[in-house]
Amino acid sequence: MNALQERILKEGKVLGGGILKVDSFVNHQVDPTLMDECGRDFAKRFAHVGATKILTAEISGIAPALTTGIHMGLPVVYARKTKPITMPDQVYLTLAPSHTKGRMVELIVSPEYLANNEKVLIIDDFLASGQTILGLVRLAEASGSKVVGIGALIEKIFEGGRNALMSVDVPIESVACIKSLDNGKIEFVD
C-alpha cells in the first residue's frame, strides 16, 4: 500500500453519493511531503511521454501538478475557473460539470501559456467521471497541443472516468485506485 492510500484510509471521509473528502491533505489543507512523493511517482510514470508542459484545473490539481512539474523540470499551467482582468480577451474556454460543486464550471486558459505544438501532461486530484479531465483535453486540443498522458492522485473506478477517457488514447495513471465507497468503506483496487 502506498502513502497516499494509507492517508486516505486514515483521514479520508466517505460523505455518500460517491464523494470522498480528502480536505485535510489534498483539497483544502495540503501535505507538501505527500504531494512531493506523488509528484515524484508521476514523474517516473510519465518520464517516457516527452511532455513539454503540465496542465491541471484550479485549485485542487495545482499541488500534485506542481510537484510533478518540479520532478520533471516542466512548467505548470492551471485552468482558471474565473477570468481575471489580467487575462487577454481571447482565451481557451470550456465547461465541465463539477461533482462536488453540483454545477457546471468554466475552465479557462490564456493562449499566452498554452501554445501550439505543446505536448501536454494532464495531472489532477481526482479521476471520477472524467469530465473535468476531458475539459482539460479540449483546452489542450483547442490550443493546437497534443495530450501525451493523464495522471490522477485518486481514481474512483466505479464512476467510469477511465472509460470516458479511452478516446484520448494516452497512458492514464493513478496513484490510488478506489473500487468502492459502499457503506462508508474505502476499498482499493488490488
- Among candidate residues 155, 161, 162, 159, the one with its CA nearest the CA of residue 178: 155
3-class secondary structure, 75? coil
Distance CA 46, CA 108 (A): 25
Closest by CA position to 4, among listed 137, 182, 125: 125
Residue 52 counted as domain residue: yes
C-alpha cell at 33: 511531503
User: Rounded to whole angstroms, how far apart are CA atoms 146 and 50?
Assistant: 11
- DSSP 8-state secondary structure symbol assigned to residue 115: -
Rounded Cα distance, 129 and 150, in Å = 14
Instruction: Provide the grid cell at 44.
Output: 517516473
User: Does any domain span residue 102?
Assistant: no
Rounded Cα distance between 10 and 13, Å, is: 9
pLDDT at 1: 66
Q: Does some domain include residue 93? A: no
Query: Domain range for residue 163?
Result: 3-78+113-188
Residue 133 lies in a domain: yes
Instruction: Check residue 98 and give its pLDDT.
Output: 77
Whether 107 is in a domain gets the answer no
Q: Is 124 part of a structural domain of the chain?
A: yes
Over its length of 190 residues, how does the chain's per-residue pLDDT go in tens digits? 699 999 999 999 999 989 999 999 999 999 999 999 999 999 999 999 999 999 999 989 999 999 999 999 999 999 998 888 888 888 999 998 877 677 889 999 999 999 889 999 999 999 999 999 999 999 999 999 999 999 999 999 999 999 999 999 999 999 999 999 999 999 999 8
The C-alpha atoms of residue 17 and residue 128 are separated, in whole angstroms, by 12
pTM more than 0.75 = yes
What CATH number is given to the structural domain containing 163?
3.40.50.2020
Number of domains in the chain: 1
Is 56 within the bounds of a domain? yes
How far apart (Å, rounded) are the C-alpha atoms in residues 126 and 60?
9
The answer as to whether 91 is a domain residue is no
